[in-house]
Amino acid sequence: MYIIAEYFLEGGANEVEVVPQSWFDKTKNTCWWPPSNFTAKKVNSYVIKQLPHDARKWVEYKAKSHATFSKEVIVIIMMVNI
DSSP 7-72: EE-GGG-EEEEEEEGGGEETTTTEEEE--TTS-HHHHHHHHHHTPPP-TTTSEEEEEEEEEEE-HH
Task: Give the mean pLDDT of 17-44.
Answer: 96
Q: What is the pLDDT of residues 8-25, one digit of tens each?
A: 998 989 999 999 999 999
Residue 69's pLDDT is 85
45-65 confidence digits (pLDDT tens): 999 899 999 999 999 999 999
pTM for this prediction? 0.84
Residue % of the chain over a pLDDT of 70: 85
